[in-house]
Amino acid sequence: MEDEFLRDLNATQLKAVTHAADASLQILAGPGSGKTRVLTSRIAHLILNCHLPPMSICAVTFTNKVANETKERLMKLIGKEKTAQLKMGTFHSLCARFLRKYPKQANVPDNFTVCDAAESKKIIGKLLKAHEGVLKERGLSLEPAGCASIISKAKSRGQSAKDCLTEAKAASGYRDPTTPPNLEVIVGLVYVGYEAELKRNNALDFDDLLIYGVKLFAGHKETVLWCRHILVDEFQDTNVTQYELMRAIGVSRCVTVVGDPDQSIYGWRSADVKNLEKMRRDFPNTSQFFLEESYRSTGAILRASHSIVSQDSKRIDKALFTSHPDGITPVLYQVHTEQEESAFIALEIKRLVAGMGGAFCWGDFAILLRYNALSRNLESALQKERIPCRVLGGHRYFERLEVKDLLAYLQLIDNPMYEPSFTRVINVPGRGIGEKTLNDILGRAGKTGKPFLELLEGIHDMKLPDHKPSIRKKIAPFVKVIRVMRTHASEGMGPSDLIRKLVDLLEYKEHLKKTQQDWETRWENVNELITFAKEVEEQLQMDKEHASLGLSPDDTNIDEDVSPLRQFLQVSMLTSEGDGQSEADNKDKVTISTCHSAKGLEWPVVIIPSVDSTTYPFIRSEDEDEERRLLYVACTRAKSLLYLTRSSSRMVAGDVKQKQLSKFIAATLEKSHKESSGPLFIQHLPHLEGEDRAIICKVLERTVPECATIEAAVEDFYKLGRTVPSNIVWRPAGAHLLAPVPSFPTP
């Protein structure tokens, strides 16, 4: 078995995989060069050939999806049992699991709830309201998302709320109440309020998971003594806290990291490429390996992608070649309207699935977006053509009303102190509990530190007698549901049965029917949630069985004492990259994903819409180089075919805005015109105008300077039976456009 997985590797990959188990290692290489494969094979090698116990290996991936794919591959290499014993996941999920195991050492509440990004933003939004007046008066603007991001950055830097506020006050000479607070002071005040709110709710946000994780591992060495080797994928995107985590877990000083500086796309979340240098200083026995062969993409896709990323003059160029055929030149398709663009994408996918002799199925396609809101038009175009699709990342599934309602109930059952869940479901289904009663309960909870449920029970059981019988009546069904559910949960009922029970008790289907027009789809989502819970349950059970095999009693089965409900909630809160639907269901669907969530993944066909001047670089981003790298990451997800599309106008907040071609692509076109190595993109230009026209003119000028219009020039070319430069495909008005896909290579 050992030989088999080592035989699949090239010489450098093999060297990296079999590098001494007690040494550290950096593998730096371009997309598709097999970094993740090397990481996976190295885990297998450490276990099978170096005989490290699987539970002594910690593997960190950037997304849960890549974690699952790596697990699947490892199961084939080392078997299910050993795979289940590995400590594997994202930094966040690993921390969450260890914090649950060692709450006392970590100084966190033992039934903490993970507060996801959306909830964080809501809490911050509420706190900001108190400063609305001052902001308005001073002509300042501070959005919840922006404020959340500043707070998150401060947290990642290790700056406490108190310090942040003290600093801001000192810097601005703020004196309450004589001087009004400036922006920094307001952020400081909100930060202080936010931390208090989390504490009151027994909640940790995503940043806390990492921060408390570092404190736990660095301050209590006994919690990491199990670790003999830690491996980190996508290392270029680790931030300072994650780096500290790696250092703290990697007590044995044996660390393998893989990464690609060209793919660093999380600077906006404080990721720092400098961690690569830092690691070489902190781990002096670190060797470096460079992989140069790409196994993913065709030559044409690699060349076009490289010409994008290499526009960054500060970048150190890396060699990357492929033995795959050159394949089809990537297509650049430009039209007038978003509708035309979406329709093209849908029809092109349909055409390829129907017409290529069964070579493609829906699951082979990914549409990668700069941000989620771009999917609106697309989803309806795909729907119109009856193309099945799923949305990866962007929390879409867990953001649905019905899913949020039921998860909020489960959270409240698990942690009766969690206010966001309480306020969400107290009137679901409608119970007529008014704002006054609600504020009264919230106020009391705040003052006494008592859980909401206890207060409600107090009112219900008349221990808090100052409420009218009518209010007690309204509260009664809620109290009953939570009481019954808490009993079931404490008796160990699994999450899927808990959801079924909850749905029955709430008569949730009836509630949906009454309140939602599209109740049938929503009801399907409820069933989907039950299926998801069942899957998580089975997975947890299997992991538990396998992990317990052959372990010494004090070995770390990190989830052993955590209730199934809590584990399920944890998986749901941290599943930002999956969409909660079962993977089997997703195999034959077109994937819609953000470029960020597509990291590390690959598809035979990748389509990148909206390659325009406000999207790449994204108009709100401050780091143009990072935006370019993001487009590079997106392009290099493609194995065989790559399409870039854009429309010259787009509806923004109800107004039609004109857009130019993305300057990253324009520069690439310029380059391919200048160089004789052949076109980097085939252009489909049903309409020619503006900048594009200028670029095309440059190409044609050399050959037909006398023609008045480009269209006329191209038409003349055709009439004369001459060949139009191969990087321009001109569509005579009304003709259906077909991308040239006669026979394509399958890498």
> Site residues (CB under 6 A) for ligand ATP?
8-10, 13, 29, 31-37, 260, 263, 295-296, 600, 602
- Measured in degrees and rounded to the nearest 5, phi and psi for residue 737 equal -85, 135
Cα gap 642→302, rounded to integer Å: 10
Residue 179 labeled ligand binder: no
Q: Which of 668, 681, 593, 677 is nearest to 637 (CA)?
A: 593
Report the C-alpha gap between 484 and 508 in whole angstroms.
16
Residue 327 or 600 with smaller CB distance to Mg ion: 600
Q: Among all residues, whose Cβ is closest to Mg ion?
A: 36
CB nearer to ligand ATP: pick between 32 and 213: 32
- Number of helices followed by number of strands (H, E) in the chain: 32, 18
The minimum distance between CB 464 and ligand ATP, in angstroms, equals: 57
Provide the 10 A C-beta neighbour count for residue 316: 7
CB 241, min distance to ligand ATP, A = 22
Q: Residue 35 Cβ, how far from Mg ion at the closest point, in Å?
A: 5
Part in contact with Mg ion (CB under 5 A); list of ranges 132-140, 491-499, 582-590, 592-600: 592-600
Instruction: State which residue, 35 or 424, has the beta carbon closest to Mg ion.
Output: 35
Dist CA 438 CA 422 (whole Å)? 10
Between CA 718 and CA 714 the distance in angstroms is 6
Pick one of Mg ion, ligand ATP, none as the site partner of residue 259 (Cβ within 5 to 8 A by kind): none
Does 259 participate in binding Mg ion (rule CB under 5 A)?
Answer: no
Residue numbers 22-41 binding Mg ion by CB under 5 A:
35-36
The entry of ligand ATP, Mg ion, none near residue 10 (CB within 5 to 8 angstroms by kind) is ligand ATP
What, of ligand ATP, Mg ion, none, does residue 150 touch, CB below 5 to 8 Å by kind? none
Residue with smaller CB distance to Mg ion, 600 or 604: 600
Peptide bond into 177 cis (omega under 30): yes
> Which does residue 33 touch among Mg ion, ligand ATP, none (CB within 5 to 8 A, set by kind)?
ligand ATP
Is residue 34 part of an annotated ligand binding site?
Answer: yes
- 11 vs 584 by CB, closer to ligand ATP: 11
Q: Was 79 annotated as part of a binding site?
A: no
Distances (CA, A) of 282 to 16, 244, 249, 286, 529: 20, 11, 14, 9, 45
Q: Which residue spans within 122-180 are E strands per DSSP?
A: none
Shortest approach of ligand ATP to residue 90 CB, angstroms?
Answer: 15
Residues contacting 221, CB < 8 A, separation 6+: 251
Nearer to ligand ATP, 3 or 491 (CB): 3
The minimum distance between CB 66 and Mg ion, in angstroms, equals 7
Report the residue number, 295 or 618, with the smaller CB distance to ligand ATP: 295
Which structure tokens are listed for 560? 């052993």
32 is in an annotated binding site: yes
Q: For residue 192, what is the DSSP state?
A: H
Residue nearest to ligand ATP (CB): 34
Residue 534 assigned to a binding site: no
Least distance from C-beta 67 to Mg ion, angstroms?
12
Q: Which does 9 bind (CB under 5 to 8 A by kind): ligand ATP, Mg ion, none?
A: ligand ATP
Interface stretch with Mg ion, choices 149-157, 183-191, 467-475, 596-604 (CB under 5 A): 596-604
| Backbone region of residue 76 per phi and psi (left: phi > 0; alpha: psi in -120 to 50; beta: other values) | alpha
Does the annotation list 30 as a binding residue?
yes
Q: Decide whether 44 or 459 has the Cβ nearer to ligand ATP.
A: 44
Binding segment (CB under 5 A) for Mg ion, from list 194-202, 369-377, 598-606, 669-677: 598-606
Contacts of 659 (CB under 8 A, 6+ apart): 612, 613, 614, 615, 646, 647, 648, 649, 650
Can you tell me which of 600, 604, 609, 679 binds Mg ion, judged by CB under 5 A?
600
Cβ atoms 286, 25 nearer than 8 A? yes
CA atoms of 698 and 671, how far apart (whole Å):
12
Report whether 617 contacts 349 (CB < 8 A). Answer: no
Output the smallest distance, CB 599 to ligand ATP, in A: 7
For 405, 501, 516, 519, 520, the CA distances from 513, given in Å and listed in that order, are: 15, 18, 6, 5, 8
Listed in order, strand segments (DSSP E) in 344-499 are 365-369, 389-392
Whole-number minimum distance, CB 5 to ligand ATP, in Å? 11
296 binds, among ligand ATP, Mg ion, none (CB under 5 to 8 A by kind): ligand ATP
Q: Give the separation between CA 272 and CA 279, rounded to whole angstroms.
A: 12
Q: Is 148 annotated as a binding residue?
A: no
Determine the Cα–Cα distance for residues 426 and 177; give it in Å rounded to an integer: 38
Least Å from the CB of residue 574 to ligand ATP: 21
Nearest distance from C-beta of residue 265 to ligand ATP, angstroms: 11
Return the number of the residue (9 or 128) whose C-beta is nearest ligand ATP. Answer: 9
The answer to whether the annotation marks 501 as part of a ligand binding site is no
Interacting residue ranges for Mg ion, rule: CB under 5 A: 35-36, 600
Annotated binding site for ATP: 29-36
